[in-house]
Structure 1
Amino acid sequence: MVAPGFECFIARSLVTGRPDSGEWTYVRKDGRRFRVLLTVSALYDDDGELSGYLGVSQDISARLSMERELKRSNAELEHFAYVASHDLRQPLRMISSYLTLLQRRLGAGLDTDSQDFIGFAVDGAKRMDRMITDLLEYSRIGRSGSPPEAVCLGEMVSLACASLQNTLSEAGAEVVVGSNLPTVMGNPMELERLFQNLIGNAVKFQAEGRRPKVEIGCRETPSEWVISVHDNGIGIEEGELDRLFQIFQRLVGRDQYEGTGIGLASCRKIAEHHNGRIWVESTLGEGSTFLIGLPRPAAGHSA
């Protein structure tokens, strides 16, 4: 049984003469209602006269149930993000602040070991705060709720470099940007973050005494733009490439390079949120090239 009002749905299809799809409500014999995806097509005889219509329906109850569950999960994640950003970070800041205050107040009264112990504790609190911040940013990728917009990737690279200005200047880094970076549909904040992570890593994971150089370019394939971010850094062992984009993965010790192990996982999540992909080609000791494939619009459409 079809819920009342179905006639209007049929009329719309018959007026246009084209198949028309949309969600509708069916009623079971026991009175229970359920949602379907209904496609209605007008039928014509050999003389071109309207002879009826054809309706094809698909029960979407399971899909709607999953969407409701996803909405509930997202609400829980939002709550977690609030708790993490406030209730977890505030005690960490307090610990770090009071330890620093204690260190200053006691000053010369502390022996070398005590100074070191306080320094380790402060450093641990700061690292945990950075990890929570990065984890929050990771959890928010793809959940802004704003529709995609035209984003010039060249501008995103410029913004990323501006955010990293001090880091680039201190390292004496050179960033070379090609003139052919495309405009894509996406989230500008996420795409800026993508380049910020990749450029920042290119400068950070650098051999001692070598001036960092980052080259950013683009090539086209029939189906996608392939953005490349090439560096002359320390490179990555071939056996480590498969786990590079997993969250919390660190391929080098913290005593050598700072980091939380979340940046490249965020890059992968951003690329996938834009219906793209990311991978890396690398030679140990010579550098790495990170490649981001983003879909090109169909012929006749532009970003």
Structure 2
Amino acid sequence: MPMTAVDDAIRREAIADYGVIGEAPASSLEGLLRIAASVCRVDKAVVNIIDDRFQHQIAALGFDAAVCAREDSMCAAVYLSGQQVVLPDARDDERFTDNPFVTGELGRVRFYASSPLRTPDGVIIGTLCVFDDDVAELDAAQRSTMDILAGQVVDVLELRRAGRELRSSNDRLSTFAGQVSHDLRNPLTALVGYLELASDSLEVDEAQQATVSLARAEAAANRMTDLVGDLLSYARIGGAARHFGPVSVREAAVAAVDDLDAALRERGARVSLDVDGIVFGDATLIRLVLQNLIANSVKFTAAAGIPPMIEVSTTRTDNALVIRVEDNGPGIPEDERGRVVGLMERGTSAQGVEGLGLGLSVCRRIAQEHGGRLGIDASPTGGAAVWVTFPLLGGQ
């Protein structure tokens, strides 16, 4: 039955999931090839992965593994039947009378046997193959062992994939832990600062100031609770949980500045807000973007010995709101602007500045999940200007 483009796409996806093409062969695969060759009493064995264009020999015994065009592959002519194929002399099979691996152009294969590699989902991705330059035959026990070993090859591929996914999961967990630590630091600092201020106010009998400070501390604690909940939801289901709706950019900016109050006062920073507009998105994440961008501007400007002056503004395009955060700091060199938005990447101006390099990468990811973008320019004062776009609510 002819293979369709959909069949080829499914097979390509299954092959890609294993991530074995172009990788060094696993020692366990080489061990299985030795067993197959010994059982079948031949010198050559190979694990072939066959996509819609090429045959990839991902492990070989008795010769050097290589890649060939699918139309030249012997296994490509038979493997999709899903049946084991055993040919005492390949010259006697009309499918291979003109095959370059039989005629002498690429090889002089006589005995040929292959068993299909079938994934747990039933997708055939290649073969376990043994062959020889001399005519030979396999008995029933040898044929059965070939099929068993083909299953073992797939088991090895599954184990390698599981190990790769585990490493990837651990990497994501490490990144998530860093993100949580980074994102909670500002509201937690604000919470502690307001509680200290309330305590000092009580000591000098300033009840009104204490009440205000405690109210702001409660607000910071509530925002931190929301953030923890959203981040944990994000971790549990891979970022799919979002609470999209109308978001006032001004309210998000004011909340972000409140979270940063302690850091702003400590560094003598001034933040001006000239923002307006309602966007469609997740309120917690949009506030997180503003918090990170403002915090970065303050941190790097202060580290350069300059009193931070931060300007947050908004402009509109046809269907998006552009939020722009400008500072009077050392700026980001043009040749570094593309790199510093990467995960845990830091520019030359970050020397001696605390942090893991998560802020901009988190902001870019949030923008992308809203269908927006993040970019970096120079501000009129010579500092950095980071901008991010979010979709306007209802194209207002």
Aligned partner of 2:278 in structure 1 is 183
Task: Indicate the structure whose relative CO is greater, using CA pairs within 8 Å and at least 6 residues apart.
Answer: 1
Structure 1 unmatched ranges of 5 or more: 1-58, 90-132
SS in 1 for 2:330: coil
Q: How far did 1:80 drift?
A: 7.3
Aligned partner of 1:276: which letter? G
Rg bigger for which structure? 2
The one-letter code of the counterpart of 2:298 is V
**Residues 1-303 of structure 1 correspond to what in structure 2 (within 5 A)?**
140=235, 143=239, 145-180=241-276, 182-206=277-301, 208-252=304-348, 256-282=352-378, 286-297=382-393, 301=394
Where 1:243 maps in the other structure, the secondary structure is coil
Return the offset for 1:77.
7.5
How far apart, CA to CA, are the structure 2 residues paired with 1:82 and 1:172?
A: 35
Q: State the secondary structure of the residue aligned to 1:242.
A: coil
In 2, are the aligned partners of 1:280 and 1:288 still within 8 Å (CA)? yes
**What do the CA deviations read for 1:105-156 (whole angstroms, capped 9, x no partner)?**
xxxxxxxxxxxxxxxxxxxxxxxxxxxx9xx88x749715134111111111
Equivalent pairs, count: 190
Contact 1:229 1:289 in 2 (8 A): yes
Once the two structures are TM-superposed, the CA of residue 62 in structure 1 deviates from its matched residue by 6.7
CA gap of 1:156–1:283, structure 2 versus 1, over 3 A, is closer
* Alpha-carbon distance change, 255 to 146 in structure 1, aligned in 2, over 3 angstroms: closer
Q: Do the aligned partners of 2:249 and 2:275 also contact (CA within 8 Å) in 1? A: no
Q: Match of 2:378, as an amino acid? A: S
Give the alignment's Cα RMSD to 1 decimal.
4.0
Contact map agreement 1:151 1:187 (CA 8 A) in 2: yes
Gaps of 5+ in 2: 1-5, 18-161, 181-227
Instruction: Supply the distance in 1 between the matched residues of 2:309 and 2:283 (Cα, whole angstroms).
Output: 25
User: What per-residue deviation string (whole Å, max 9, x for no partner) do you get for residues 233-270 of structure 1?
Assistant: 11111111121211111113765211101110111001
Q: Quick one: distance in 2 between partners of 1:237 and 1:158?
A: 29
Asked if the contact 2:318/2:395 (under 8 Å) is kept, the reply is: no
- Taking the aligned partners of 1:162 and 1:183, their CA distance within structure 2 comes to 20
Amino acid paired to 1:186 = G
Q: Which amino acid aligns with 2:282?
A: N
Output the TM-score relative to the length of structure 2.
Answer: 0.41
Identical-pair percentage:
29
Distance in 1 of aligned mates of 2:294 and 2:174: 31
Matches of 1:236 and 1:157, distance apart in 2: 23
